[in-house]
Amino acid sequence: MKTVIVKGLGLMGGSLAKDMRPLYPEAEFVGMDAKQSHEQKAVELGLVDRIGTADDFDRADMVVLCIPVNALPDALVEVMDAIHQDCLVWDTGSTKSQLCKRLSNHPKRHQYVAAHPIAGTENTGPEAAISGLFHGKTNIVCEVERSGFEFQERARELFQALGMRIRFMNPDTHDRQIAFVSHLSHISSFMLGKTVMREEQSERDIFDMAGSGFESTVRLAKSSPAMWTPIFEQNSQAVLEALGDYIKHLTEFKNKMEEEQWEELYAEMEKINGIRSILEGIPGTPSAKTKEEIQKQ
């Protein structure tokens, strides 16, 4: 491995570069980002050795794309067109259907692995890059049967070296389910932030009363619109369905409150408490199994 290209030097790309460099100590790490300030910062922080251009693609042994999902399809095709026959390409996009469709008939489709490492923080940019971000997290790989054996294997070894659990899914199922379990959480958080900020305009000091519970539910409202707007757009059908269900459940809760059906609300919340035991299975959460337990699996 002589050259690794990381396209997109934000939280994901930066964190990946940080943890991949020790795995390929002999490789030159070349970075690219739509923002020049990100490029400068990434070199300053030593996340990559130098900044490259499209001319570098044909010498790469691995290209990772960590850019917003609206920019991914065109960028991916550009990379695939340029690479040599031993180069592995993968991406970290949060939607997979459109991307897999777009690549479907590409002559080098077998060199591509469609991945979605479910990891992140609410922070953005190369300064937000942290080591260990992917450790113990789940990585969904889509349409794995379309990737060649050699490329499946190289990607698997890398993901395992980063400490990730690998799960295989088809892209449509991935997009639908991730709408419920990730995309919806972001909208719920953004709108919670909006609701309290609106109130704050008229009532001072309200944020001074906020505790860790509010902070926890509203944390994702700090997320990057540049990343999330394209995700909502690309996955709008599934997100709209999840959001519709959510609004329906909130409205039913409100109606029951108005009708003073307290016993029913009690029973409902008690049932939802069952999520505690389900959440214990989520890696990377305080209640989850330890990394060691996961690695032993």
Q: From the CB of 140, what's the least distance to a second copy, in Å?
A: 6
- 87 three-class SS: coil
Between 99 and 118, whose beta carbon lies closer to a second copy?
A: 118
Does residue number 155 form part of the binding site for a second copy (CB under 8 A)? no
The contacts of residue 133 (CB under 8 Å, 6+ apart) are 11, 12, 15, 16, 19, 119, 120, 121
One-letter identity of residue 284: G
Does residue number 119 form part of the binding site for a second copy (CB under 8 A)? yes
Does residue number 182 form part of the binding site for a second copy (CB under 8 A)? yes
Instruction: Tell me if 28 sits within 8 A of 50, measured CB to CB.
Output: yes
Cα 10 to chain center, whole Å?
12
**Lateral strand order in the sheet of 112-117:** 50-51, 28-32, 3-7, 62-65, 88-91, 112-117, 138-142, 165-169
Q: From the CB of 26, what's the least distance to a second copy, in Å?
A: 32
Name which of residues 68 to 87 contact a second copy (CB under 8 A): none
Between 104 and 262, whose beta carbon lies closer to a second copy?
A: 262
Between 46 and 244, whose beta carbon lies closer to a second copy?
A: 244
Does residue number 245 form part of the binding site for a second copy (CB under 8 A)? yes
For the record, the structure tokens of 88 come out as 């592995």
Q: How far is CA 14 from CA 41, 66, 98, 114, 199, in A?
A: 10, 9, 25, 19, 37
Cα 47 to chain center, whole Å?
19
Q: How many residues bind a second copy (CB under 8 A)?
A: 98
Does residue number 287 form part of the binding site for a second copy (CB under 8 A)? yes
Does residue number 115 form part of the binding site for a second copy (CB under 8 A)? no
Only segment of 46-54, 105-113, 150-158, 202-210 that touches a second copy (CB under 8 A): 202-210
| Rounded distance between C-alpha atoms, residue 56 and residue 69, angstroms | 22
Work out which of 2, 50, 101, 254 binds a second copy, going by CB under 8 A: 254
Work out which of 21, 148, 172, 246 binds a second copy, going by CB under 8 A: 246
Query: Hey, which bits of 8-65 come out as E strands?
Result: 28-32, 50-51, 62-65
| Rounded distance between C-alpha atoms, residue 268 and residue 55, angstroms | 59
Q: From the CB of 4, what's the least distance to a second copy, in Å?
A: 25
Work out which of 278, 292, 296, 297 binds a second copy, going by CB under 8 A: 278
Between 1 and 166, whose beta carbon lies closer to a second copy?
A: 166
Between 101 and 254, whose beta carbon lies closer to a second copy?
A: 254
| Rounded distance between C-alpha atoms, residue 168 and residue 178, angstroms | 14
Does residue number 55 form part of the binding site for a second copy (CB under 8 A)? no
Between 58 and 74, whose beta carbon lies closer to a second copy?
A: 74
Does residue number 10 form part of the binding site for a second copy (CB under 8 A)? no
Does residue number 26 form part of the binding site for a second copy (CB under 8 A)? no
Name which of residues 205 to 244 contact a second copy (CB under 8 A): 205-223, 225-226, 228-230, 232-233, 236, 239-240, 242-244
